[in-house]
C-alpha cells in the first residue's frame, strides 16, 4: 500500500501524518530498509508485547532517531527522515510504503492546503448567466391568448447564441422539445415539410410565415392627451409609497406620478409645453403650494416634483389639517338654525269645540222610531274646506233693502246664528222663536259647521323672536397667522 503526499507540505499535513504513524505503531513496528526513503511497517509478534498505561490503554513504542535523538518529525522538511529504527524481528512482516508524490508546482503555488488537496473542476462550456436563458419551463402552444410567438422565438434564439457548439439538428430538436404536447404548435410542427426542418434558419422562416407579426394600431395624439389628463395624483396617496415603474420597487406617489407624466408627454409629444398649466391645476393643493416657483416646462415640473421630500409632504399635510380645524371654528352657526330647531320641538294642537249642555224640558218628545233604510247614492266626496266654504258663499242670500232688517241680513253669514230662527244670541236647542223654513235651517247648520272647522284649521301661531348675542367673526388667514405665532419656537432650531 502506498500513500502519496506532495513534496511541499504544510505543518498541518505533517502533524496529521505524525498522528497516523503513531496510530500504526500501536500495532506495527516501524523499520527502515537499507536503501530508499521508505519506511517498513512490520507486524508485532503479539499484542501482549505492547506496553499499556495505568488505564490499560496501548502505548505507542518510542521511536529513536540515531542522528539527532529526537522523536519528532521536522515540519519543514520536504521528505521523511531516513533514520534507522530498532524493531524486533518478526516472520509476519507487512510492508507499508510511504512514498513522496510529485505534483505540478504550477497547480500548487501559494494556495492553502485545502485548496491543494481539492480536485480542480472541469472547465464549463457555459457562462454563469446561462440560467437567465434557461427555457426548461417554457412551452409554446401557438394559442393567441398564450405567449406572443415572436417573444418565444426571440428567447429561443438568445438561448442558442449562448449555447454554442450545437448542430443544426440539435437546434431543431430543441425547438421541437419546447412545443407543448397536443397543442396547435405541436400539430403544426408534425405537418411541416421535412425541407423546412433541415436547418434552424429554414425552421424560423416557416415559423414566421405561420405566425406573422401582428401590427398594433398606434394611439392618436388626442388619445394620448386624454390619458395624460386622466393621470391624476389623488390627495389620499400623498406621503405614501406605491409600486413604481422601475422594477416594481416602491417609491413615493408623487415621484411615480412625475415619472409617468414624463413618459406620457414624450409619447404625445408636447414639445411646446401647452399642457403644463392644465396638469398643474389638477395637482392636490398641498403639492401645489410646495411648487413655489412657477413651472413653465415639463422638465421644470418633473424636476421640481421629484425633488420634494417626504418630510415636506408630511409638514404640508399637517398644516392643511390645522387650517381646516381653524376654519370650522371660525364659521358661526346662523341664528335661524337654532330657531328652527326650537320650532321643531313645538307641537301645535287644535282645541276641541266647547260642549253645550242641554237643558231638560217638559215638552212632548216624539217616540223613537227606526228610520227606514235609504237607498245608497254613492260614497260621500270629502272636499277641502275652502272649496266647501266658497260654495256656501256663492249661494248667499239675495240683496236686501236698506232697512234695519236688511242691514241685519247683510251681516256675516254663518256667524253664530240660530239654525231654527236665524237670530243671534242664543243656541238652537232652547229656541222658541218662529222657525225658518226647513231648507234654510239645514243650510245654516251646514254653513256653521264648515265655518267653525275653517277657523280652527287657520288658527294663528305666534312666532317669538329669539334674540342672540352678537357673534364675532374672524378671517381665516388671521386665525392661521395667529396659530403660527402661538406655535413659534416649538420646533427644532431657531425661530426667526
> How much is the pLDDT for 309?
92
Closest to 320 measured CA to CA, from 436, 236, 216, 400: 236
As beta bridge partners, residue 29 has 42
Contact at 8 Å (CB) between 102 and 7? Answer: yes
Name the DSSP letter for residue 78: S
Q: Any idea which of 88-92, 162-166, 194-198, 335-339 has the lowest mean pLDDT?
A: 88-92
C-alpha cell at 264: 406620457
Q: Any idea which of 117-126, 302-311, 343-352, 448-457 has the lowest mean pLDDT?
A: 117-126
CA 65 to centroid of chain Cα atoms = 82
For the range 112-120, what are the long-range contacts, defined as Cβ-Cβ under 8 Å and sequence gap of 24 or more? 113/9, 113/10, 113/12, 113/13, 116/6
Question: For 437-447, how does the pLDDT look when each residue is reduced to its tens digit (9 = 90+)?
Answer: 888 888 888 88
Question: For 21-56, how does the pLDDT look when each residue is reduced to its tens digit (9 = 90+)?
Answer: 665 555 555 555 555 544 455 554 455 556 667 666
> How much is the pLDDT for 311?
92
> How much is the pLDDT for 467?
57
- With a pLDDT cut of 90, the percent of the chain lying above it is 15
The yes-or-no verdict on residue 116 having pLDDT over 60 is no
> How much is the pLDDT for 77?
40
The yes-or-no verdict on residue 96 having pLDDT over 50 is no
C-alpha cell at 106: 504550477
> How much is the pLDDT for 25?
57
The yes-or-no verdict on residue 317 having pLDDT over 70 is yes
CA pair distance 101, 108, nearest whole angstrom:
13
Question: For 400-419, how does the pLDDT look when each residue is reduced to its tens digit (9 = 90+)?
Answer: 778 887 777 666 666 667 76
Closest to 305 measured CA to CA, from 262, 272, 265, 274: 262
Q: Any idea which of 61-65, 95-99, 307-311 has the lowest mean pLDDT?
A: 95-99
The yes-or-no verdict on residue 152 having pLDDT over 50 is yes
- With a pLDDT cut of 70, the percent of the chain lying above it is 50
The yes-or-no verdict on residue 225 having pLDDT over 80 is yes
Confidence grade of residue 201 (pLDDT, cut at 50, 70, 90) = very high
Average pLDDT over residues 349-360: 56
3-state secondary structure of 244: coil
CA pair distance 414, 424, nearest whole angstrom:
10
Average pLDDT over residues 93-111: 46
CA pair distance 420, 439, nearest whole angstrom:
10
In order, the DSSP letters of 195-232 are GGGSSHHHHHHHHHHHS-----PPPPHHHHHHHHHH--
Evaluated on CA atoms 475, 481, 485, 491, the torsion sign reads positive
* Burial grade of 60 (CB within 10 A; 0-12, 13-18, 19 or more): middle
Considering 44-58, 238-252, 270-284, the range whose residues carry the highest mean pLDDT is 270-284
Q: Where are the domains of the chain?
A: 2-117, 130-210, 221-327, 385-457
Q: Where are the alpha helices (DSSP H) in 249-334?
A: 253-267, 276-281, 285-290, 298-306, 310-330
**pTM attached to this predicted model:** 0.38
> How much is the pLDDT for 24?
58
CA pair distance 50, 48, nearest whole angstrom:
5
The yes-or-no verdict on residue 494 having pLDDT over 70 is no
CB atoms closer than 10 angstroms to residue 303: 13
* 487 vs 389: which has the higher pLDDT: 389
Question: For 287-300, how does the pLDDT look when each residue is reduced to its tens digit (9 = 90+)?
Answer: 988 887 778 899 99
> How much is the pLDDT for 145?
81
The yes-or-no verdict on residue 76 having pLDDT over 50 is no
CA pair distance 13, 74, nearest whole angstrom:
12
> How much is the pLDDT for 147?
81
Contact at 8 Å (CB) between 135 and 115? Answer: no
> How much is the pLDDT for 349?
59
CA pair distance 340, 335, nearest whole angstrom:
9
Question: For 451-466, how does the pLDDT look when each residue is reduced to its tens digit (9 = 90+)?
Answer: 777 777 655 666 666 5
The yes-or-no verdict on residue 196 having pLDDT over 80 is yes
3-state secondary structure of 416: coil
- Looking at every residue in the chain, the average pLDDT score rounds to 71
Confidence grade of residue 352 (pLDDT, cut at 50, 70, 90) = low
Average pLDDT over residues 318-343: 73
Question: For 159-188, how does the pLDDT look when each residue is reduced to its tens digit (9 = 90+)?
Answer: 888 888 889 999 999 999 999 999 999 999
> How much is the pLDDT for 148?
87
> How much is the pLDDT for 354?
58
Amino acid at each position: 500500500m502506498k500513500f502519496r503526499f506532495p513534496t511541499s507540505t504544510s505543518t498541518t499535513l505533517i502533524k496529521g501524518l505524525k498522528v497516523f504513524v503513531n496510530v500504526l505503531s500501536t500495532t506495527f513496528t516501524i523499520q527502515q530498509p537499507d536503501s530508499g526513503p521508505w519506511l517498513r511497517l512490520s507486524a508485532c509478534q503479539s499484542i501482549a508485547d505492547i506496553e499499556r498505561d495505568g488505564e490499560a490503554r496501548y502505548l505507542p513504542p518510542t521511536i529513536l532517531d540515531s542522528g539527532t535523538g529526537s522523536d519528532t518529525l521536522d515540519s519543514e522538511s520536504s521528505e521523511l527522515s531516513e533514520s534507522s529504527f530498532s524493531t524486533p524481528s518478526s516472520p509476519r512482516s507487512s510492508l507499508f510504503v510511504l512514498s513522496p508524490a510529485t505534483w505540478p508546482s504550477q497547480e500548487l503555488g501559494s494556495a492553502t492546503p485545502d485548496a491543494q488537496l481539492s480536485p480542480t473542476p472541469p472547465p464549463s462550456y457555459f457562462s454563469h448567466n446561462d440560467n437567465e436563458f434557461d427555457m426548461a419551463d417554457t412551452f409554446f402552444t401557438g394559442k393567441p391568448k398564450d405567449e406572443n410567438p415572436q417573444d418565444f422565438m426571440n428567447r429561443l434564439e438568445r438561448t442558442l447564441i449562448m449555447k454554442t457548439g450545437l448542430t443544426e439538428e440539435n437546434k431543431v430538436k430543441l425547438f421541437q422539445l419546447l412545443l407543448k404536447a397536443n397543442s396547435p404548435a405541436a400539430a403544426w410542427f408534425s405537418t411541416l415539410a421535412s425541407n423546412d426542418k433541415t436547418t434552424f434558419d429554414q425552421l424560423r422562416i416557416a415559423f414566421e410565415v405561420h405566425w406573422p407579426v401582428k401590427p398594433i394600431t398606434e394611439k392618436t395624439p388626442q388619445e394620448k392627451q386624454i390619458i395624460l389628463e386622466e393621470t391624476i395624483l389623488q390627495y389620499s396617496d400623498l406621503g405614501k409609497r406605491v409600486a413604481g415603474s422601475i422594477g416594481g420597487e416602491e417609491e413615493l406617489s408623487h415621484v411615480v406620478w412625475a415619472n409617468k407624466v414624463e413618459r406620457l408627454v414624450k409619447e404625445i409629444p408636447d414639445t411646446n409645453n401647452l399642457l403644463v398649466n392644465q396638469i398643474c391645476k389638477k395637482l392636490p393643493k398641498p403639492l401645489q403650494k410646495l411648487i413655489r416657483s412657477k413651472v413653465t416646462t415639463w422638465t421644470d415640473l418633473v424636476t421640481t416634483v421629484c425633488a420634494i421630500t417626504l418630510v415636506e409632504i408630511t409638514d404640508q399635510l399637517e398644516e392643511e389639517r390645522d387650517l381646516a380645524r381653524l376654519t370650522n371654528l371660525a364659521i358661526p352657526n346662523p341664528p335661524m338654525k337654532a330657531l328652527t330647531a326650537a320650532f321643531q320641538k313645538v307641537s301645535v294642537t287644535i282645541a276641541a269645540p266647547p260642549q253645550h249642555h242641554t237643558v231638560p224640558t217638559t215638552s212632548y218628545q216624539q217616540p223613537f222610531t227606526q228610520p227606514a233604510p235609504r237607498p245608497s247614492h254613492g260614497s260621500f266626496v270629502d272636499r277641502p274646506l275652502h272649496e266647501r266654504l266658497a260654495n256656501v258663499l256663492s249661494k248667499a242670500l239675495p240683496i236686501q233693502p236698506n232697512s234695519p232688517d236688511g242691514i241685519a241680513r247683510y251681516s256675516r253669514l254663518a256667524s253664530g246664528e240660530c239654525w231654527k230662527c236665524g237670530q243671534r244670541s242664543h243656541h238652537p236647542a232652547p229656541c222658541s222663536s218662529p222657525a225658518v223654513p226647513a231648507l234654510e235651517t239645514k243650510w245654516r247648520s251646514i254653513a256653521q259647521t264648515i265655518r267653525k272647522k275653517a277657523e280652527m284649521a287657520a288658527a294663528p301661531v305666534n312666532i317669538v323672536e329669539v334674540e342672540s348675542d352678537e357673534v364675532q367673526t374672524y378671517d381665516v388667514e388671521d386665525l392661521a397667522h395667529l396659530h403660527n405665532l402661538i406655535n413659534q419656537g416649538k420646533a427644532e432650531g431657531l425661530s426667526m
